[in-house]
Amino acid sequence: MLGLGDENAQRGYQQIIDTYREARQWQQATDVAKEAVQKLPNDRGLKMVYASQLADMGQADTGLQQVKALLKGKPEDREVYITLAQMYSRLKRWSDAEESLDKAEQFSSKPEDKQYVYFLRGSMFERQKKYDQAEEMFRKVLSADPDNATALNYLGYMLADRGVKLEEGLKFIKKAVDLDPANGAYLDSLGWAYFKLGKYELAEDNLLKASQHIGTDPTVQDHLGDLYQKTGRLKLAAVHWERALQEWNKAVSAEVDSADVAKVQKKLESAKVKLAKEDPNTK
């Protein structure tokens, strides 16, 4: 695709970068993004991808400056403000993220553009544990677009994870899975909702499917660990918690919640102590 030039090259670079990101090969993703910008210097989208990579790699101010330099005071600034909001969110600079989303909304004329801003607001509120505000935003998206699989999954998982409105959460997630049956994140949500409802066989079935699709996702591994612990398979639980920690170690800081990591470490240490008591040869 790169050899075909123009739009094909742009899409080719984007897919290569995405592939490296999914494999958690952050430096390679950044190197390819840099090459893309050099080869296609007029492509604004690739410039923003490269800037986002720099921010993830610890050069936040450089990345943010590069994106801000693309602002022109015109309607096409919407995409720039969306990118800024996502970068600020990953950096946990919430007030800056909110301000950028407000600007993006001002430039959003189409209903679907506004819905995407609401979705990002919901995601931002959820990451700050402002669950009521997040729920309000996701429901706003779904009232306009009932088949928005991303919003169905996000809201469903958020409810299930907190153990509130579990049946409604499950209904949202099931609909998301129906719309996109091979989506590993949605299958993980479905498995986790079943776990919260005490339906452990259905939970295991869906969490294993999720692991087949996104086995490098630490959350999936953590969920499998919790399931195996709950169903009396502690040794297997420890294997998956260990895997979760290994995957978190490969992630950039923007993708890691230190509280989640600490919880898994505690569960793993506790499991190792119990296993050692049961079998002194267990390391």
The tens digit of pLDDT for each residue in 208-217 reads 999 999 989 9
Name the residue type at position 277: K
Of the pLDDT bands very low, low, confident and very high (cuts 50, 70, 90), residue 280 is low
The helix or strand, by DSSP H or E, that contains position 280, with its residue range, turns out to be: none
| All residues at 6 or more sequence positions from 170 whose CB lies less than 8 Å from its CB, including other chains | 156, 160, 190, 193, 194, 197
CB 78 within 8 A of CB 70: no
**High-pLDDT (> 70) share of the chain, %:** 99
Tokens of 276: 């050692």
Tell whether the model's pLDDT for residue 100 goes beyond 60: yes
Tell whether the model's pLDDT for residue 115 goes beyond 80: yes
What pLDDT shows up at residue 219?
Answer: 96
What integer is the mean pLDDT of 153-180? 97
- The answer, as to whether pTM is greater than 0.95, is no
Gyration radius of the chain's alpha carbons: 21
CB 245 within 8 A of CB 265: yes
Report in angstroms the alpha-carbon separations of 16 from 24, 39, 82, 131, 146: 12, 15, 22, 35, 32
Tell whether the model's pLDDT for residue 5 goes beyond 90: no
Give per-residue pLDDT as tens, 36-68: 999 989 999 999 999 999 999 999 999 999 999
Distance (Å, whole) CA 68 – CA 84: 8
CB 47 within 8 A of CB 39: no
Tell whether the model's pLDDT for residue 281 goes beyond 70: no
CB 225 within 8 A of CB 195: no
Distance (Å, whole) CA 128 – CA 126: 5
What pLDDT shows up at residue 65?
Answer: 96
Q: Is the Cα dihedral 32, 33, 36, 41 positive or negative?
A: negative
What pLDDT shows up at residue 282?
Answer: 53
Write down the mean pLDDT value for the chain: 94
CB 244 within 8 A of CB 219: yes
CB 96 within 8 A of CB 61: no
Q: Of 151-160, 197-206, 220-229, 272-281, which range is least confident?
A: 272-281
Of the pLDDT bands very low, low, confident and very high (cuts 50, 70, 90), residue 194 is very high
Of the pLDDT bands very low, low, confident and very high (cuts 50, 70, 90), residue 283 is low
What pLDDT shows up at residue 266?
Answer: 97
